[in-house]
Amino acid sequence: MQSNLEKNKLRSGVNPVEARGRLANRLADLPMFAPIQLKQIALKRVSLGTPIFDFGLGDPFGPIASDVKQAALSAIRRERTRYTHPSGLEHLRSAILAWFGLEKDYTVNDVVVSAGVGHSLLSLMLAICDESDCILMPPTLGPSYSSLIQIAGARRHVITSPNDVEQQFKLQPERLVEALNTEPHARMLVISSPCNPTAQVYSTQELDALLRVCADHGVYLVLDRRSWKVSFEPYKFEAPTLDDDIKPWLIHVDSLSNNFAQSSGFRVGWCVAPPDISEALSIMQSHCGGGASTPSQYAAACALEQGVDEDEMLELEHKRWLFIEASQAIPQIAILPTQGSFFSFWDVRSVLADWSDKTGITKNADDFAEYLLESFGIVVLPGTAFHCEGFIRLSFAVPDDTIRRGIPLLHDAVLELIDSRTQNQALS
Protein backbone atom coordinates (compact mmCIF):
# COMPACT_ATOMS: atom_id res chain seq x y z
CA MET A 1 0.00 0.00 0.00
CA GLN A 2 1.35 3.41 -0.98
CA SER A 3 1.80 6.09 1.67
CA ASN A 4 0.32 9.55 1.23
CA LEU A 5 3.87 10.83 0.78
CA GLU A 6 4.46 8.42 -2.15
CA LYS A 7 1.07 9.29 -3.71
CA ASN A 8 1.84 13.01 -3.50
CA LYS A 9 5.23 12.43 -5.11
CA LEU A 10 3.66 10.49 -7.98
CA ARG A 11 1.01 13.16 -8.57
CA SER A 12 3.39 16.14 -8.57
CA GLY A 13 6.68 14.56 -9.50
CA VAL A 14 8.24 16.31 -6.49
CA ASN A 15 8.94 14.88 -3.05
CA PRO A 16 7.07 17.32 -0.74
CA VAL A 17 9.64 16.81 2.03
CA GLU A 18 12.46 17.76 -0.33
CA ALA A 19 10.44 20.65 -1.72
CA ARG A 20 9.71 22.11 1.69
CA GLY A 21 12.99 21.25 3.35
CA ARG A 22 13.51 19.59 6.69
CA LEU A 23 13.78 22.82 8.71
CA ALA A 24 11.55 25.85 9.14
CA ASN A 25 12.27 28.76 6.83
CA ARG A 26 12.95 31.04 9.80
CA LEU A 27 16.09 29.00 10.53
CA ALA A 28 17.46 29.37 7.01
CA ASP A 29 21.13 30.43 7.11
CA LEU A 30 20.95 30.98 10.88
CA PRO A 31 24.58 31.10 12.03
CA MET A 32 26.08 29.84 15.24
CA PHE A 33 26.57 32.63 17.81
CA ALA A 34 29.75 34.33 16.52
CA PRO A 35 31.70 34.50 19.82
CA ILE A 36 31.00 30.80 20.42
CA GLN A 37 32.39 29.97 16.97
CA LEU A 38 35.55 31.88 17.77
CA LYS A 39 35.83 30.18 21.16
CA GLN A 40 35.76 26.77 19.51
CA ILE A 41 38.50 27.82 17.09
CA ALA A 42 40.60 29.12 19.97
CA LEU A 43 40.14 25.90 21.97
CA LYS A 44 41.15 23.82 18.97
CA ARG A 45 44.35 25.83 18.53
CA VAL A 46 45.12 25.44 22.23
CA SER A 47 44.65 21.65 21.95
CA LEU A 48 47.18 21.63 19.10
CA GLY A 49 49.68 23.53 21.19
CA THR A 50 49.40 26.66 19.04
CA PRO A 51 49.80 29.99 20.91
CA ILE A 52 46.52 31.86 21.23
CA PHE A 53 45.55 35.31 22.48
CA ASP A 54 41.80 35.22 22.88
CA PHE A 55 40.12 38.66 22.97
CA GLY A 56 36.97 37.32 21.34
CA LEU A 57 34.37 36.03 23.77
CA GLY A 58 35.02 37.92 26.97
CA ASP A 59 34.31 35.29 29.61
CA PRO A 60 33.64 36.70 33.07
CA PHE A 61 36.66 36.54 35.34
CA GLY A 62 37.52 35.53 38.90
CA PRO A 63 36.08 32.86 41.22
CA ILE A 64 32.43 32.47 42.16
CA ALA A 65 31.72 33.79 45.66
CA SER A 66 31.70 30.92 48.14
CA ASP A 67 28.27 31.87 49.49
CA VAL A 68 26.81 31.73 45.98
CA LYS A 69 28.25 28.26 45.42
CA GLN A 70 26.92 27.14 48.78
CA ALA A 71 23.46 28.45 47.95
CA ALA A 72 23.29 26.22 44.87
CA LEU A 73 24.71 23.20 46.71
CA SER A 74 22.42 23.73 49.68
CA ALA A 75 19.38 23.80 47.39
CA ILE A 76 20.38 20.41 46.00
CA ARG A 77 21.13 18.92 49.43
CA ARG A 78 17.75 20.12 50.74
CA GLU A 79 16.09 18.71 47.62
CA ARG A 80 14.92 22.13 46.45
CA THR A 81 15.00 20.80 42.91
CA ARG A 82 11.37 20.77 41.80
CA TYR A 83 9.79 23.16 39.35
CA THR A 84 9.34 26.67 40.65
CA HIS A 85 6.50 29.03 39.76
CA PRO A 86 6.75 29.73 35.98
CA SER A 87 7.94 33.26 36.81
CA GLY A 88 10.61 32.03 39.22
CA LEU A 89 11.19 31.86 42.96
CA GLU A 90 9.38 34.68 44.72
CA HIS A 91 12.34 35.63 46.92
CA LEU A 92 14.56 35.80 43.80
CA ARG A 93 12.06 38.09 42.09
CA SER A 94 12.02 40.27 45.19
CA ALA A 95 15.84 40.37 45.14
CA ILE A 96 15.74 41.41 41.46
CA LEU A 97 13.55 44.41 42.26
CA ALA A 98 15.94 45.43 45.04
CA TRP A 99 18.92 44.89 42.69
CA PHE A 100 17.35 47.33 40.23
CA GLY A 101 16.09 49.68 42.95
CA LEU A 102 12.55 49.28 41.61
CA GLU A 103 10.76 48.02 44.75
CA LYS A 104 8.47 51.06 44.82
CA ASP A 105 7.63 50.94 41.11
CA TYR A 106 6.95 47.24 40.49
CA THR A 107 5.82 44.11 42.34
CA VAL A 108 7.20 40.58 42.19
CA ASN A 109 4.37 39.77 39.76
CA ASP A 110 6.06 42.05 37.23
CA VAL A 111 9.29 39.99 37.31
CA VAL A 112 9.86 36.87 35.22
CA VAL A 113 13.00 34.76 35.68
CA SER A 114 14.41 33.07 32.58
CA ALA A 115 17.35 30.97 31.44
CA GLY A 116 19.39 34.04 30.47
CA VAL A 117 18.94 37.34 28.63
CA GLY A 118 18.60 35.59 25.26
CA HIS A 119 15.70 33.56 26.64
CA SER A 120 14.02 36.72 27.97
CA LEU A 121 14.48 38.60 24.69
CA LEU A 122 13.14 35.77 22.55
CA SER A 123 10.12 35.37 24.83
CA LEU A 124 9.44 39.11 24.62
CA MET A 125 9.66 39.06 20.82
CA LEU A 126 7.27 36.12 20.63
CA ALA A 127 4.86 37.71 23.11
CA ILE A 128 4.76 41.14 21.47
CA CYS A 129 5.43 40.67 17.75
CA ASP A 130 3.53 38.95 14.96
CA GLU A 131 5.22 37.88 11.76
CA SER A 132 4.52 41.15 9.97
CA ASP A 133 5.87 43.24 12.85
CA CYS A 134 9.20 45.04 12.98
CA ILE A 135 11.83 45.24 15.72
CA LEU A 136 14.07 48.30 15.70
CA MET A 137 17.76 48.21 16.53
CA PRO A 138 20.36 50.97 17.04
CA PRO A 139 23.29 51.37 14.61
CA THR A 140 25.19 48.49 16.18
CA LEU A 141 24.08 45.86 18.69
CA GLY A 142 25.20 42.48 20.04
CA PRO A 143 25.50 39.58 17.57
CA SER A 144 22.59 37.50 18.93
CA TYR A 145 19.82 40.09 18.54
CA SER A 146 19.32 39.70 14.80
CA SER A 147 19.24 35.93 15.13
CA LEU A 148 16.62 36.12 17.88
CA ILE A 149 14.49 38.37 15.68
CA GLN A 150 14.81 35.84 12.86
CA ILE A 151 13.83 32.94 15.13
CA ALA A 152 10.83 34.92 16.39
CA GLY A 153 9.70 35.45 12.80
CA ALA A 154 9.70 39.25 13.02
CA ARG A 155 11.51 41.76 10.82
CA ARG A 156 14.62 43.75 11.70
CA HIS A 157 15.22 47.44 11.03
CA VAL A 158 18.69 48.74 11.91
CA ILE A 159 18.59 52.52 12.37
CA THR A 160 21.75 54.03 10.92
CA SER A 161 23.01 57.54 10.32
CA PRO A 162 25.97 59.10 8.44
CA ASN A 163 27.06 60.49 11.83
CA ASP A 164 27.04 57.17 13.69
CA VAL A 165 30.80 57.12 14.34
CA GLU A 166 30.88 60.73 15.56
CA GLN A 167 27.94 59.96 17.86
CA GLN A 168 29.71 56.80 19.08
CA PHE A 169 26.89 54.71 17.64
CA LYS A 170 24.33 55.94 20.14
CA LEU A 171 20.82 56.08 18.74
CA GLN A 172 19.50 59.62 18.42
CA PRO A 173 15.81 60.43 19.06
CA GLU A 174 15.34 62.15 15.71
CA ARG A 175 16.59 59.05 13.88
CA LEU A 176 14.20 56.92 15.89
CA VAL A 177 11.30 59.19 14.89
CA GLU A 178 12.27 58.86 11.21
CA ALA A 179 12.39 55.07 11.50
CA LEU A 180 9.01 54.92 13.22
CA ASN A 181 7.47 57.07 10.51
CA THR A 182 8.64 54.55 7.88
CA GLU A 183 7.80 51.42 9.91
CA PRO A 184 4.10 51.44 10.86
CA HIS A 185 4.43 47.84 12.11
CA ALA A 186 7.28 48.62 14.52
CA ARG A 187 6.55 47.10 17.93
CA MET A 188 9.80 47.18 19.83
CA LEU A 189 13.17 48.94 20.13
CA VAL A 190 16.02 46.98 21.72
CA ILE A 191 19.04 48.84 23.10
CA SER A 192 21.76 47.97 25.60
CA SER A 193 23.58 50.14 28.11
CA PRO A 194 26.49 49.72 28.48
CA CYS A 195 26.37 48.94 24.78
CA ASN A 196 27.71 45.77 23.26
CA PRO A 197 29.99 46.14 21.29
CA THR A 198 30.79 49.85 21.58
CA ALA A 199 31.06 50.03 25.40
CA GLN A 200 29.11 53.32 25.49
CA VAL A 201 26.78 54.20 28.37
CA TYR A 202 23.52 56.08 27.81
CA SER A 203 22.75 58.89 30.22
CA THR A 204 19.36 59.23 31.89
CA GLN A 205 18.57 62.15 29.58
CA GLU A 206 19.42 60.10 26.49
CA LEU A 207 17.30 57.16 27.63
CA ASP A 208 14.43 59.45 28.59
CA ALA A 209 14.42 61.04 25.14
CA LEU A 210 14.24 57.64 23.40
CA LEU A 211 11.58 56.42 25.81
CA ARG A 212 9.44 59.48 25.19
CA VAL A 213 9.49 58.79 21.44
CA CYS A 214 8.61 55.13 22.02
CA ALA A 215 5.73 56.00 24.36
CA ASP A 216 4.36 58.56 21.91
CA HIS A 217 4.32 55.90 19.16
CA GLY A 218 3.12 52.98 21.30
CA VAL A 219 6.39 51.06 20.91
CA TYR A 220 8.14 49.11 23.67
CA LEU A 221 11.70 50.00 24.62
CA VAL A 222 13.55 46.89 25.81
CA LEU A 223 16.59 47.97 27.82
CA ASP A 224 19.28 45.29 28.03
CA ARG A 225 21.12 45.96 31.29
CA ARG A 226 23.24 42.82 31.47
CA SER A 227 26.47 44.79 32.14
CA TRP A 228 24.98 47.74 34.01
CA LYS A 229 27.17 47.30 37.08
CA VAL A 230 30.31 47.29 34.91
CA SER A 231 30.90 50.96 34.16
CA PHE A 232 33.78 53.31 34.84
CA GLU A 233 34.08 56.82 36.23
CA PRO A 234 32.82 59.29 35.23
CA TYR A 235 30.46 57.08 33.21
CA LYS A 236 27.97 55.25 35.40
CA PHE A 237 24.79 53.51 34.34
CA GLU A 238 21.76 55.69 34.96
CA ALA A 239 18.24 54.27 34.91
CA PRO A 240 15.58 56.06 32.88
CA THR A 241 13.02 58.24 34.60
CA LEU A 242 9.70 56.53 35.30
CA ASP A 243 6.30 58.17 35.05
CA ASP A 244 2.80 57.00 34.24
CA ASP A 245 3.26 57.63 30.51
CA ILE A 246 6.64 55.89 30.22
CA LYS A 247 6.17 52.88 32.49
CA PRO A 248 3.77 50.90 30.20
CA TRP A 249 6.39 50.96 27.42
CA LEU A 250 9.62 50.19 29.31
CA ILE A 251 10.98 46.65 29.79
CA HIS A 252 14.20 45.84 31.68
CA VAL A 253 16.19 42.67 30.95
CA ASP A 254 19.30 41.54 32.80
CA SER A 255 21.20 38.42 33.85
CA LEU A 256 23.61 37.03 36.38
CA SER A 257 26.49 36.40 33.99
CA ASN A 258 28.22 39.70 33.18
CA ASN A 259 28.01 41.29 36.62
CA PHE A 260 29.13 38.24 38.61
CA ALA A 261 32.34 36.32 37.96
CA GLN A 262 32.16 32.86 36.35
CA SER A 263 28.38 32.72 36.78
CA SER A 264 27.33 32.45 33.12
CA GLY A 265 26.87 28.68 33.39
CA PHE A 266 24.11 29.13 35.96
CA ARG A 267 21.96 30.42 33.05
CA VAL A 268 19.80 32.87 34.99
CA GLY A 269 18.24 35.99 33.47
CA TRP A 270 15.21 38.09 34.25
CA CYS A 271 12.77 40.61 32.90
CA VAL A 272 10.86 43.40 34.65
CA ALA A 273 7.91 44.47 32.53
CA PRO A 274 4.40 45.93 32.58
CA PRO A 275 1.83 43.52 34.13
CA ASP A 276 0.28 42.37 30.84
CA ILE A 277 3.70 41.53 29.38
CA SER A 278 4.99 39.73 32.49
CA GLU A 279 1.77 37.71 32.70
CA ALA A 280 2.13 36.67 29.06
CA LEU A 281 5.74 35.60 29.64
CA SER A 282 4.75 33.61 32.72
CA ILE A 283 2.02 31.81 30.77
CA MET A 284 4.48 31.00 27.97
CA GLN A 285 7.01 29.62 30.44
CA SER A 286 4.33 27.51 32.13
CA HIS A 287 4.18 25.50 28.91
CA CYS A 288 7.92 25.03 28.47
CA GLY A 289 9.27 24.01 31.85
CA GLY A 290 9.66 27.44 33.42
CA GLY A 291 12.85 29.46 33.35
CA ALA A 292 16.18 28.74 35.02
CA SER A 293 16.92 25.59 37.01
CA THR A 294 15.85 25.74 40.64
CA PRO A 295 19.34 25.43 42.23
CA SER A 296 20.57 28.19 39.90
CA GLN A 297 17.77 30.46 41.07
CA TYR A 298 18.84 29.98 44.69
CA ALA A 299 22.40 30.87 43.68
CA ALA A 300 21.18 33.95 41.80
CA ALA A 301 19.16 35.18 44.79
CA CYS A 302 22.24 34.86 47.00
CA ALA A 303 24.41 36.73 44.46
CA LEU A 304 21.97 39.61 44.11
CA GLU A 305 21.52 39.94 47.85
CA GLN A 306 25.31 40.12 48.31
CA GLY A 307 25.87 42.50 45.40
CA VAL A 308 28.88 42.74 43.11
CA ASP A 309 32.37 42.07 44.41
CA GLU A 310 34.11 45.46 44.52
CA ASP A 311 37.55 43.79 44.33
CA GLU A 312 36.53 42.17 41.04
CA MET A 313 35.37 45.54 39.70
CA LEU A 314 38.73 47.08 40.69
CA GLU A 315 40.53 44.21 38.97
CA LEU A 316 38.53 44.80 35.81
CA GLU A 317 39.35 48.52 35.92
CA HIS A 318 43.01 47.58 36.23
CA LYS A 319 42.69 45.39 33.12
CA ARG A 320 40.97 48.24 31.29
CA TRP A 321 43.85 50.65 31.95
CA LEU A 322 46.43 47.98 31.11
CA PHE A 323 44.59 47.35 27.84
CA ILE A 324 44.30 51.06 27.00
CA GLU A 325 47.98 51.69 27.68
CA ALA A 326 49.05 48.72 25.56
CA SER A 327 46.78 49.74 22.64
CA GLN A 328 47.70 53.43 22.33
CA ALA A 329 50.73 52.91 20.08
CA ILE A 330 48.94 50.87 17.40
CA PRO A 331 48.94 52.95 14.19
CA GLN A 332 45.93 53.76 12.00
CA ILE A 333 43.39 52.51 14.55
CA ALA A 334 40.84 54.67 16.37
CA ILE A 335 39.45 53.25 19.61
CA LEU A 336 36.11 54.32 21.05
CA PRO A 337 36.30 55.28 24.74
CA THR A 338 35.44 52.34 26.97
CA GLN A 339 32.75 53.72 29.28
CA GLY A 340 31.32 50.40 30.45
CA SER A 341 31.31 46.60 29.97
CA PHE A 342 34.58 44.79 29.27
CA PHE A 343 34.70 45.43 25.53
CA SER A 344 36.75 47.74 23.34
CA PHE A 345 35.53 48.77 19.86
CA TRP A 346 38.18 49.58 17.25
CA ASP A 347 37.80 51.47 13.99
CA VAL A 348 40.17 49.67 11.57
CA ARG A 349 38.97 51.25 8.34
CA SER A 350 42.28 53.04 7.79
CA VAL A 351 44.11 49.75 8.14
CA LEU A 352 41.75 48.11 5.66
CA ALA A 353 41.97 50.98 3.13
CA ASP A 354 43.37 49.82 -0.21
CA TRP A 355 43.93 46.28 1.13
CA SER A 356 42.91 43.75 -1.50
CA ASP A 357 43.82 40.26 -2.65
CA LYS A 358 45.61 39.34 -5.87
CA THR A 359 42.36 39.47 -7.83
CA GLY A 360 41.66 43.01 -6.61
CA ILE A 361 38.82 42.07 -4.24
CA THR A 362 38.77 44.49 -1.31
CA LYS A 363 39.43 42.99 2.11
CA ASN A 364 37.08 43.65 5.02
CA ALA A 365 36.94 43.27 8.81
CA ASP A 366 36.24 39.55 8.50
CA ASP A 367 39.45 39.17 6.49
CA PHE A 368 41.34 41.24 9.06
CA ALA A 369 40.10 39.03 11.90
CA GLU A 370 41.07 35.93 9.93
CA TYR A 371 44.53 37.39 9.24
CA LEU A 372 45.08 38.07 12.96
CA LEU A 373 43.97 34.56 13.88
CA GLU A 374 45.80 32.57 11.21
CA SER A 375 49.06 34.53 11.23
CA PHE A 376 49.36 35.61 14.86
CA GLY A 377 46.92 33.52 16.91
CA ILE A 378 44.96 36.63 17.95
CA VAL A 379 41.19 36.21 18.33
CA VAL A 380 38.97 39.26 17.79
CA LEU A 381 35.35 39.58 16.70
CA PRO A 382 34.78 41.41 13.39
CA GLY A 383 32.24 44.22 13.30
CA THR A 384 30.15 42.44 10.69
CA ALA A 385 28.69 40.45 13.60
CA PHE A 386 27.28 43.79 14.80
CA HIS A 387 26.19 45.15 11.38
CA CYS A 388 29.24 47.41 11.47
CA GLU A 389 31.82 46.84 8.73
CA GLY A 390 35.31 48.23 9.27
CA PHE A 391 35.39 47.65 13.03
CA ILE A 392 36.50 44.91 15.41
CA ARG A 393 35.60 44.16 19.03
CA LEU A 394 38.04 43.00 21.67
CA SER A 395 37.42 41.94 25.27
CA PHE A 396 39.84 42.87 28.04
CA ALA A 397 38.25 40.44 30.53
CA VAL A 398 41.26 38.22 29.96
CA PRO A 399 44.42 37.35 31.92
CA ASP A 400 46.90 40.22 32.27
CA ASP A 401 49.49 38.17 30.39
CA THR A 402 47.17 37.93 27.38
CA ILE A 403 47.02 41.73 27.27
CA ARG A 404 50.76 42.24 27.87
CA ARG A 405 51.76 39.79 25.14
CA GLY A 406 48.78 39.84 22.78
CA ILE A 407 48.34 43.58 22.22
CA PRO A 408 52.01 44.22 21.28
CA LEU A 409 51.71 41.27 18.89
CA LEU A 410 48.58 42.86 17.41
CA HIS A 411 50.63 46.06 17.01
CA ASP A 412 53.20 44.08 15.02
CA ALA A 413 50.45 42.46 12.94
CA VAL A 414 49.08 45.87 11.94
CA LEU A 415 52.54 47.15 11.04
CA GLU A 416 53.20 44.05 8.94
CA LEU A 417 49.91 44.46 7.13
CA ILE A 418 50.55 48.16 6.44
CA ASP A 419 54.06 47.41 5.15
CA SER A 420 52.80 44.58 2.95
CA ARG A 421 50.03 46.76 1.56
CA THR A 422 52.51 49.56 0.79
CA GLN A 423 54.85 47.18 -1.00
CA ASN A 424 52.03 45.74 -3.11
CA GLN A 425 50.93 49.24 -4.11
CA ALA A 426 54.50 50.10 -5.15
CA LEU A 427 54.73 46.96 -7.31
CA SER A 428 51.41 47.70 -9.00
pLDDT of 3:
54
- For the ranges 34-43, 44-53, 80-89, the lowest mean pLDDT is seen at 34-43
CATH class as words, domain 66-306: alpha beta
Question: Which tens digit of pLDDT belongs to each residue from 391-410?
Answer: 999 999 999 999 999 999 99
Residue 108 scores a pLDDT above 80:
yes
- Residues of the chain with pLDDT > 90: what percent? 58
Strands of the sheet containing 111-114, edge to edge, are 111-114, 269-272, 250-255, 220-224, 186-192, 134-137, 155-158
Q: Which of 51-60, 126-135, 303-312, 358-367 has the highest mean pLDDT?
A: 126-135
Residue 59 scores a pLDDT above 90:
no
Q: What is the mean pLDDT of residues 241-256?
A: 95
Q: What is the mean pLDDT of residues 309-314?
A: 86
Question: Which tens digit of pLDDT belongs to each residue from 259-295?
Answer: 887 777 889 999 999 999 999 999 999 988 778 999 9
pLDDT of 273:
97
Residue 5 scores a pLDDT above 50:
no
Q: What is the mean pLDDT of residues 164-179?
A: 94
**What does 291-317 look like in DSSP terms, one character per residue?**
SS-HHHHHHHHHHHHH---HHHHHHHH
pLDDT of 23:
81
Nearby residues of 96 by Cβ (< 8 Å), 6 or more positions away: 111, 113, 254, 270, 272, 304
Q: Give residue 390's pLDDT band: very low, low, confident or very high (50, 70, 90).
A: very high
SS3 per residue for 213-226? HHHHHCCEEEEECC
pLDDT of 285:
92
pLDDT of 248:
97
pLDDT of 60:
66
Q: Is the dihedral of CA 95, 98, 104, 105 positive or negative?
A: negative
pLDDT of 47:
73
Extract the runs of DSSP E, i.e. beta strands, from 71-148: 111-114, 134-137
Please, is 281 exposed, middle or buried when counting C-beta atoms within 10 Å of its C-beta (0-12, 13-18, 19+)? buried
Nearby residues of 176 by Cβ (< 8 Å), 6 or more positions away: 136, 159, 189, 210, 213, 214
Same-fold call for 29-58+310-427 versus 66-306: no
Instruction: Indicate the pTM of the whole model.
Output: 0.89
Question: Which tens digit of pLDDT belongs to each residue from 329-384?
Answer: 899 999 999 999 999 999 999 998 878 766 566 788 989 998 999 889 999 999 88
- Cα dist from 339 to 335, 389, 394, whole Å: 12, 22, 14
Residue 122 scores a pLDDT above 90:
yes
Q: Give residue 37's pLDDT band: very low, low, confident or very high (50, 70, 90).
A: confident
Strand 155-158 to strand 134-137: parallel, antiparallel, or no bridges (unpaired)?
A: parallel
DSSP state of 26: G
pLDDT of 281:
96
pLDDT of 6:
53
Cα end-to-end distance, the chain, whole Å = 71
Q: What is the mean pLDDT of residues 397-424?
A: 88
In CATH terms, the fold of domain 29-58+310-427 is Aspartate Aminotransferase, domain 1 (3.90.1150)
- Domain residue spans in the chain? 29-58+310-427, 66-306
- Phi and psi for 291 in degrees, rounded to 5? -105, -115
Q: What is the mean pLDDT of residues 117-121?
A: 93
- Cα dist from 149 to 57, 137, 223, 299, whole Å: 22, 10, 16, 30
Nearby residues of 29 by Cβ (< 8 Å), 6 or more positions away: none
Taking the C-alpha atoms of residue 53 and residue 51, their distance in angstroms, rounded to an integer, is 7
Report the length, in residues, of the chain.
428
